[in-house]
Amino acid sequence: MTEAITALWQRWRQSQKQRIYIIPSRAGYGYVALLLLMLLGAINYNNSLGHLLCFLLASIGHVTMHQSHTNLRLLTLKVTALDPVFKGQPARFRLTVNNHDEHDKYQIEIAGKKPGNWSRWQFFKAYEKTGLLEHVEADNTRSINLSRDTHQRGWQSIGKLRLASLYPLGLFYTWTVYQQNARVLVYPEPAGKRPLPEPPGSDRQRTQREHSGDDDFSGLRNYREGEPLHRVAWKALARDEVMRSKQFSSPEGHQLILRWQDLADLNDTEARLSQLCRWVLEAESAGHRYGLELPDSWLPPSQGDAHQHQCLKKLALYHG
């Protein structure tokens, strides 16, 4: 008995955390008008069956109001941002609805707030439907992917989300609003027609750069503290007791520095960022080691998915 009371108390406390709103829908207002006409007719003609039918329909509407409210009760919402995108591509989010109630939920409409300033009297126009959950089982979760259009680089937040329902008969519109902080990083749009810059002093010739890898052996040099032990030339150490490390070089690929000042003739900041973004993608695709130099930051030459992400993130969040 005590456990049942505790469970009911916890459910009630949880239901109070999220405010739920409810108003009659257009069909609901028509339903009320029809009941008033039926009631006037039953009174005018002193028709007992008319009174009975009118009160029966009124009781159905009353039960529908409670069912509509219960359909959104004890729901929690979690939004997770997915992978970064480029400007112009839709930002994707994963929305998970958790039903903590002992009853199933039906026809949950998901709407996101449109950008812009909307007054409280324009509430319904301020949101745009983005998804629908037909059924959420009791004590279970359902997930759905949402997308938002991107028009500028930087962080794209999903903002406010509205969960609404017309269940079960469409007579009442019930909704609740969740404020979400999930955000997706939007890279600049890769654009521009300029070729990759040449490495310093190369004169269009490939250079060999030292880096950790398993390429061609290029020689020995004195061991530096912190280098991996498998690079130590143990045979040379046994011969002259001088600790050296093996060096390898790659005959393919350039070491490039992508500089902001190389695009000084482009007056538009976004055009510069778009060209640098394209250079980063081309350098990574070609297998080059590349660095990025911006007026407010610097990334040393490297390569790989993590380095590419760091470069694109610097471009996405640049404020010049």
Smallest Cα–Cα separation from 257: which of 285, 286, 289, 284? 289
Question: What pLDDT score does 254 carry?
Answer: 62
pLDDT digits (tens, 9 = 90+) for 76-134: 899 999 999 999 999 999 999 999 888 899 999 999 888 776 666 677 778 888 889 99
Question: What pLDDT score does 4 carry?
Answer: 64
Q: What span, in angstroms and rounded, lies between the C-alpha atoms of 57 and 49? A: 12
Question: What pLDDT score does 306 carry?
Answer: 93
Whether the per-residue pLDDT at 207 is higher than 50: the answer is no
Whether the per-residue pLDDT at 203 is higher than 50: the answer is no
Whether the per-residue pLDDT at 192 is higher than 70: the answer is yes
Question: What pLDDT score does 213 carry?
Answer: 45
DSSP symbol at 225: T
315 near 187, Cβ under 8 Å? Answer: yes
Q: Among residues of the chain, what percentage have pLDDT more than 90?
A: 51
Question: What pLDDT score does 42 carry?
Answer: 93
Any idea which of 56-60, 104-108, 235-239, 271-275 has the lowest mean pLDDT?
A: 235-239
**From the CB of residue 286, how many other CB atoms can be counted at a distance below 10 Å?**
14
pLDDT digits (tens, 9 = 90+) for 152-189: 999 999 888 999 999 999 999 999 998 888 999 999 99
pLDDT digits (tens, 9 = 90+) for 278-314: 999 999 988 889 999 999 889 999 989 999 999 999 9
Question: What pLDDT score does 218 carry?
Answer: 56
Residue linked to tokens 């069912």: 67
Question: What pLDDT score does 271 carry?
Answer: 92
Average pLDDT over residues 25-34: 94
- Second-level CATH architecture of 1-187: Sandwich (2.60)
Whether the per-residue pLDDT at 216 is higher than 80: the answer is no
Instruction: Label residue 68 exposed, middle or buried (CB < 10 Å: 0-12, 13-18, 19+).
Output: buried
Q: What span, in angstroms and rounded, lies between the C-alpha atoms of 290 and 308? A: 9
Question: What pLDDT score does 10 carry?
Answer: 57
